[in-house]
Amino acid sequence: MNWILPAAVAGAVVVLGGVGAGWRAVRRPVRIDTPEEVAEAAEAALRGFAVSGAVVGADGQGALAMSGDGRVAAAKRLRRKLVVREVAWRDVRATAGGILVETGDRALGDVALAGIDVLDIRRLAP
């Protein structure tokens, strides 16, 4: 009987700790912070990709990087990792909410750049 109470208290502490960790994850979405972060990730992930400009969506959930030779890469956070994929320009299109990149990559999915318009992309293109 004497061991039941300490075990219950320990179980409650573990449960509350897990809820607290889950709450922190829900409360703080993982964002892409800066265009420099995207540029660095694109140059590291894609061979010969020298970034000439990058843009991050207003919500920090998606980004694009352009190279000096006309290549384009989409970036998105998957968990804590910034994933970058090269895409064709035809996969980048304007929508009412911003730019949408249809990557065709099942793991990455579509990349949305909220609040970014065609003029923002044109300023970056070589």
Q: pTM for the full model?
A: 0.74
- Name the pLDDT band for 124 (thresholds 50, 70, 90): confident
Give the end-to-end CA distance of the chain in Å, rounded to a whole number.
75
Task: Give 7-50 pLDDT, tens digit per residue.
Answer: 556 555 555 555 555 555 555 568 999 999 999 999 999 999 99
What confidence score (pLDDT) does residue 28 get? 57
Q: What is the mean pLDDT of residues 54-58?
A: 96
Going from N- to C-terminal start, the domains of the chain cover 1-30, 35-124
